Structure 1
């Protein structure tokens, strides 16, 4: 079950965190993985780990917010079966302390970046007879998160775009779903805590972990397993859905 043998999978932001876990798992399940990554060195490190374990992986350096960069990357890849729109950046701030430049920066990566990948991938999938898309949203698209105004905006847009793509391309055998994680323990979280709470790392880590009713942060590998299911043939009847992976945050907390 859940084989991706002979599938070509594109993963944006596959050089770290959730994207890295997805790239590693998809390769393990037989896919040829194409990592689109701004940090080419991080992408190469992941690709080298995959090929060293007998998998197939390639890195395509690109700024996801630049449509020309993305188009060139996809042209170099060729036919694709799976797109994981994972690349994104964060921002902390409410409406009043979010500047126009902050909003534009978040939009250009999280929203336009996903659009650029979709714009490049969908025609290829249509010509190829179909495909699967998973866009990474967030619980912030479903409920209010304190001091996440711009980030929540971007993930709400991801959710809406995904539902539109799911509906518009049903007849082309293209499925599109979203995954909405709560807090996932990635290097970004550790870096955020170290930068903003020096000397209180353990205390803040525990506090952030306990904000999920289940009592801990999620693991990148857990998100990757959900992505694998949604991209497998076993999920062929699923499209236009948002999947919470949040330790009970949305349904139990609210």
Structure 2
């Protein structure tokens, strides 16, 4: 089973990867809250906020092709909601972009704001996941006071996702090797339903075997890491730069852009 579906770049070695998981998690949550709280007309300041996640991704040597691919995979869920805004809010409004002034509707402005905030927050989330091992993130959350039961559930959910994906790939590979001709729609539905049932049963059986093996090796609900979590000087420097970045953009937006 290959655990390279979600965080395959989290095991690299860089300045960003060496930062404490707690510092990166707090920064990502605070950054997301700031971006979401921006007014829907703050497109310029929203564009400026993309500098932060991009800088982290570049320093962490995360390929931008991988980043945009992950954003495209999730974007349909947001686009369905965003594109519905122009349908129910058609209030006309004038928007100025430099010397140009054009007319649009509040619904389209809200749609663009939702898509823009989605992209920026996804950049921050991908930067966090791609530069932090999930085990370190769970250990950091536990040290921050997150309930142990929730940490255990997140840990097993993370591992069982790979069990589900791996089992599904085995079924699809077996089906492709045994299919010699195109089946009709009715037969395809029967085959798909049988595969879903088999996927459910086999994934549960594999997950139970993994759970038994983990408890047999002394798992007691605590996610252990090779390196101990410790706030270093680099973490303080990152925190200072992050605070200065947020405050600078806030004053820039309130003085120059307004």
TM-score (norm 1): 0.24
Higher relative contact order (CA 8 A, sep 6+): 2
* Structure showing the higher strand proportion among its residues: 1
Could you state the TM-score of these two structures normalised by the residue count of structure 2?
0.24
Structure with the higher helix share, 1 or 2: 2
Rg comparison, structure with higher value: 2
